[in-house]
Chain A
Amino acid sequence: MSTVPTQFDASAPWQLDAQVSLRDEEFGALAYHHGNRRLVFLKSRTLVDLVRGLEKYESATAALEHFSPARELHQYESALASLARSEVLSER
């Protein structure tokens, strides 16, 4: 059983949850959680790369620094927080 974090800790290592399938689309991707049956839209290619890349970094912050344009870092961090709330991401 995974627990649902109330706060997104960007200093922690994260990954795409094992129960989530990602499907690329022109606008970004669709993410479907087979457990909670939630369908979520990833609305940019950058976000998709970031989400797929998370597992290779020691923290979400490190992944953000690599994938996100510096001036949009904050937006991408809140996008990750929102994906964590939907259980698309889980801490590893």
Chain B
Amino acid sequence: MSVELKLRDRFERGLAAPICLTWELTYACNLACTHCLSSSGRRDPRELTTDEAVTLIDEIAAMQIFYINIGGGEPMMRSDFFTLVDYAVNKHVGVKFSTNGTRIDALAARRLAASDYLDIQVSIDGVDAATNDVVRGKGSYASARRAMDHLRDANFGPFKISVVMTRDNVGQLDDFESLASDYGAQLRLTRLRPSGRGVDVWDQLHPTRQQNRDLYQWLLARPHILTGDSFFHLSALGDPLEGLNLCGAGRVVCLIDPVGNVYACPFVIHDEFLAGNVRDAGFAAVWRDSELFRSLREPGSAGACASCGSFDACRGGCMAAKFFTGLELTDPDPECVFGHGETALEVKRLSIRPTSSPDHSRRTPVFLGSK
């Protein structure tokens, strides 16, 4: 789906309701991935109660938000997970949820397979345990594969395999494609962001400039690969990739965190991008009236990118990637395909990078399984 410029301009001024609403159900997680966007681990005692979550789903349905992307933390750690999913689906709000797979046994897989309006993404970050477990923790590859086996055995249909692209796995693109095809699954690739705990590993893990070029060509040849519009910064290399090719933060995208805080996008859990809380006057009020979202919908300045011929293609890239690497929002994306971001970063080399305002990381190491 490529969108003409006029419509994209409209989107940049904001919509009546988000297209892509991510709702992180809990900060609790039984893994401790090194790049976790939400610095998850421990449950927050202020997380929305079941009743509050149900009220929020009612509001989401009333706003005609077609589907919600449920994440976490590990969303299946919530004891009311299935209650909330069933409630949303019955309200005709589709659910796409993202999981590490550890809680998908044969029974859960059958239960998930019974719903029509449910999509699942199982995360892995390497095509083998060696590559994956360095990022996601020991045993996490095996448990994700077990979840995929259960989903296949339960005839779930085409679930998604979701991969964050890193320096260590860009070389495995073809293998990821084969793995997905073996399961009859869809492959979904997303960008590594320096958000949450990612701020600590981004320097070592983000793809090199050459890898980004390879990834762009690979994606261009495979428009069926899902990306959640993740790689629009690479569209400056030539023809636009599939998707809206814009930063949707506060315009077509936003995040509700487990305590009801509304942020501009899933990658900017930080006070600077906090628009409000659903507990105050509901979600619609935050979406429509928050000062932050209103300002994001104003025409922005191209900043340092104004004189670049490719600005129309990449729009200066990802706000979160800039912010958490210590750049100004008017700077180029740190992974600018022409290297302008690297130059800007060099200047900021010694500055202290912002970190996620709420940090729910566990204080002790996590081990999966008994060994």
Which A residues form the contact surface with B (CB < 8 A)? 21, 23-27, 30, 32, 34-35, 37, 39, 41, 43
Contact = CB atoms under 8 A, between A and B. Distances in A.
B67 interface: yes
Contacts of B19: 30, 39
A44 to B, nearest CB: 11
Contacts of A37: 67, 94, 119
A21 B7 contact: no
Interface residues of B, number: 16
B64 interface: yes
A21 B16 contact: no
Q: Considering the complex of A and B, which 6 residue pairs feature the smallest CB-CB distances, nearest first? A: A32-B66, A23-B64, A27-B10, A25-B16, A25-B15, A21-B66
Most B-side CB within 10 Å, residue of A24, A26, A34, A35: A34
Given A30-B15, A32-B94, 19 more contacts: A21-B64, A21-B66, A21-B92, A23-B16, A23-B64, A23-B66, A24-B16, A25-B15, A25-B16, A26-B10, A30-B66, A32-B66, A34-B66, A34-B92, A34-B116, A35-B116, A37-B67, A39-B66, A41-B3
A43 B66 contact: no
Nearest to A23: B64
Contacts of A23: 16-17, 64, 66
A43 B7 CA distance: 8
A50 to B, nearest CB: 18
Interface of B: 1, 3, 7, 10, 15-17, 19, 64, 66-67, 92, 94, 116-117, 119
A52 to B, nearest CB: 14
B298 to A, nearest CB: 16
Contacts of A35: 116
Contacts of B15: 25, 30
24 contacts: A21-B64, A23-B17, A23-B64, A24-B16, A25-B10, A25-B15, A25-B16, A27-B7, A30-B15, A30-B19, A30-B66, A32-B67, A32-B94, A34-B66, A34-B94, A34-B116, A34-B117, A35-B116, A37-B67, A37-B94, A37-B119, A39-B19, A39-B66, A41-B3
Nearest to A20: B66
Contacts of B92: 21, 34
Nearest to B89: A34
B118 to A, nearest CB: 11
Nearest to B119: A37
Nearest to B11: A27
A82 to B, nearest CB: 12
A28 to B, nearest CB: 9
Given A21-B92, A23-B66, A41 B7 contact: yes
Contacts of A26: 10, 16
A43 B1 CA distance: 14
